[in-house]
């Protein structure tokens, strides 16, 4: 079992344990760190501390020692190994008179297991410093930190070269804390913090030989090694570059915030203009679509009557011309209807009139319509309904439009002699799936993600040019989504296209 630190350190239960040290001429005493007082001292220590008796020495009050002194003693006790000693240069103040000494510390324990240090002190001549003190003084001379000492009435007592170069205020006797920092309350504020056992620290603008500079100022209350009285020790660090960088960053953030605000305002205006333009476009399309359909229906109607010779006989050449007029008018009417649907969707005015309808009737309509269309192009049309007898809940007219658009696209983009099919079945999740397939020209892979956008044609070849305005799949996808369904498209250029409409289970009535 490892011994504890208390078992490793020398332990003194009473003063008599240290009586042998009385024969030495070197001042030796034991400092009780727990109670922060001298626990014992030899005859030389009594002389050093100018005490009449040992009882007088141990009764001395050290409660005014700074937190720095207390912390250093704790560090020496905690970090010194068994048998080792620590040697440091200190300035002590017996009865207020400064004495420069080299002190050797040895961690020990005293009665009731209290932490203590055995101290051996060697007096130093004020004119001859040991090498450590010399090096510290030289470091203070060359450090860029500005260090100054002020008397308790505010007078400057000393400053290192860095402080002297920066402040350069002439005769030191004329310099005070108040004049250097242009603050008549600064000494009062420093002492107020010290009274509350808190360190004074602030950032302030200082007039220096380099002009106005920002300094971080830290103040401590210490003891003067010459007079033994209390002094104010000021440490300053130039933080002008940091403050300027922070101000530049603040200005940059303000500028960025202003630009973001302005950009947001412009985007908001642009969005409002776009919405207004879109609304105007929708209104225009809706109005024009209604205005154009009326004369077109008249043209189609009169053409039909002329072809059937209601107004008199016509020859074969005239019949063919009337047939072309009828086909062109119907194609134009189809485009106008698509524009009207697209306008309704974009304005959010698409309405579904849901009802229960017979799926077989929808399938039969598709078979009757596209058997004729495919025969005209010498195409093969296959229809496989694996769910005969089902009913659906939805807008029957709009659902017929979905399948009509998909089959019309298949016929349109499949050359003569091609194959087209419509398969209706249920998947493993019991959802209803309508699949329209063809072996036509197909869709390039890089265009698949755009085919359901308005005014985008599914095919891009010259053969397909002029076969529509690119609204069929857009309208179809919106109608499918309105029914809660999903539209999936797969295609390979030159190999054909497969489009699936997946209807959720809640729309199926078994």
Task: Establish whether domains 5-131 and 245-346 are of one fold.
Answer: no
* Axis crossing angle, helix 396-412 with helix 472-482, rounded to the nearest 10: 150
Could you tell me which of 407, 409, 395, 430 has the C-alpha nearest to residue 503? 430
Could you tell me which of 115, 108, 111, 118 has the C-alpha nearest to residue 10? 108
Please give the Cα distance from 33 to 57 (Å, whole number): 15
Please report where in the chains the tokens 């006790």 appear, as a residue.
Answer: 77
Please give the Cα distance from 175 to 156 (Å, whole number): 6
Please give the Cα distance from 370 to 406 (Å, whole number): 11
Contacts of 413 (CB under 8 A, 6+ apart): 438, 440, 441, 458, 459, 464, 467, 497
Contact present, 420 and 366 (Cβ < 8 Å): no
Distance from the first to the final alpha carbon of the chain: 83
Residue 71: both structure tokens together: 């912390």
Please give the Cα distance from 308 to 303 (Å, whole number): 9
Residue 421: both structure tokens together: 């099919």
- Residue 257: what pLDDT? 87
- Residue 463: what pLDDT? 44
**Domain extents for the chain?**
5-131, 143-238, 245-346, 355-509
Contacts of 143 (CB under 8 A, 6+ apart): 160, 162
Residue 471: both structure tokens together: 């609204």
Determine how many CB atoms are found less than 10 A away from the CB of residue 45.
Answer: 25
The CATH number of the structural domain formed by 245-346 is 1.10.287
The whole-model pTM stands at 0.44
Could you tell me which of 165, 168, 158 has the C-alpha nearest to residue 137? 158
Could you tell me which of 165, 194, 168 has the C-alpha nearest to residue 180? 168
CATH fold label, 355-509: Heat Shock Protein 90 (3.30.565)
- Residue 336: what pLDDT? 72
Could you tell me which of 45, 44, 20 has the C-alpha nearest to residue 31? 45
- Residue 171: what pLDDT? 47
The CATH number of the structural domain formed by 5-131 is 3.30.450.20
CATH fold label, 143-238: Beta-Lactamase (3.30.450)
Question: Please, what are the averages of pLDDT over each run of 10 residues along the chain (510 residues)?
Answer: 53 80 91 93 93 93 84 84 77 84 90 91 73 74 87 90 76 77 91 86 90 92 84 93 89 88 86 76 65 74 82 85 79 71 73 90 90 91 93 91 91 93 93 95 85 64 51 85 92 92 90
């Amino acid at each position: 079992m490892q011994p504890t630190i208390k078992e490793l350190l020398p332990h003194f239960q009473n003063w008599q344990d240290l009586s042998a040290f009385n024969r030495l001429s070197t001042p030796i005493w034991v400092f009780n760190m727990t109670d922060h007082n001298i626990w014992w001292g030899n005859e030389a220590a009594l002389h050093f501390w100018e005490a009449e008796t040992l009882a007088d020495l141990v009764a001395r009050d050290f409660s005014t020692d700074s937190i720095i002194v207390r912390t250093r003693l704790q560090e020496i006790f905690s970090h010194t190994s068994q048998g080792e000693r620590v040697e440091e240069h200190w300035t002590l103040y017996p009865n207020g008179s400064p004495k420069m000494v080299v002190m050797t510390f040895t961690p020990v324990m005293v009665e009731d297991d209290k932490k203590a240090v055995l101290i051996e002190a060697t007096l130093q001549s004020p004119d001859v410093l040991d090498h450590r003190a010399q090096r510290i003084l030289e470091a203070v001379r060359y450090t860029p930190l500005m260090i100054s000492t002020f008397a308790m009435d505010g007078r400057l007592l000393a400053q290192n070269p860095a402080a002297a170069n920066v402040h350069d205020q002439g005769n030191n006797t004329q310099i005070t804390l108040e004049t250097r920092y242009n603050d008549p309350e600064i000494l009062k504020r420093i002492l107020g913090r010290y009274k509350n056992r808190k360190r004074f620290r602030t950032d302030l603008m200082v007039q220096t030989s380099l002009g106005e500079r920002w300094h971080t100022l830290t103040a401590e209350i210490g003891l003067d090694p010459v007079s033994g009285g209390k002094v104010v020790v000021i440490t300053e660090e130039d933080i002008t570059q940091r403050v300027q960088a922070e101000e530049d960053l603040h200005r940059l953030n303000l500028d960025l915030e202003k630009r973001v605000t302005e950009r947001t305002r412009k985007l908001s205006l642009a969005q409002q203009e776009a919405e207004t333009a879109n609304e105007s476009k929708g209104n225009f399309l809706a109005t024009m679509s209604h205005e154009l359909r009326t004369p077109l229906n008249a043209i189609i109607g009169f053409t039909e009557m002329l072809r059937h010779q209601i107004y008199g006989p016509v020859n074969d050449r005239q019949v063919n011309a009337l047939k072309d007029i009828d086909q062109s008018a119907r194609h134009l009417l189809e485009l106008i209807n698509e524009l009207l649907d697209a306008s309704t969707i974009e304005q959010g005015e698409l309405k579904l009139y849901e009802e229960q309808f017979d799926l077989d009737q929808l399938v039969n309509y598709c078979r009757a319509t596209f058997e004729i269309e495919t025969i005209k192009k010498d195409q093969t049309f296959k229809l496989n309904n694996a769910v005969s007898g089902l009913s659906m809940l939805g807008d029957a007219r709009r659902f017929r439009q979905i399948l009509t658009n998909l089959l019309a696209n298949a016929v349109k983009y499949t050359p003569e002699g091609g194959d087209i099919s419509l398969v209706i079945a249920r998947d493993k999740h019991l959802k209803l799936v309508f699949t329209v397939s063809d072996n036509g020209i197909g869709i390039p892979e890089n265009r698949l993600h755009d085919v359901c956008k308005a005014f985008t044609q599914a095919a891009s070849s010259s053969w397909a040019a002029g076969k529509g305005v690119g609204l069929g799949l857009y309208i179809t996808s919106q109608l499918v989504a309105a029914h809660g369904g999903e539209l999936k498209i797969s295609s390979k250029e030159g190999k054909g296209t497969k489009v699936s409409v997946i209807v959720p289970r809640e729309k199926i009535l078994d």
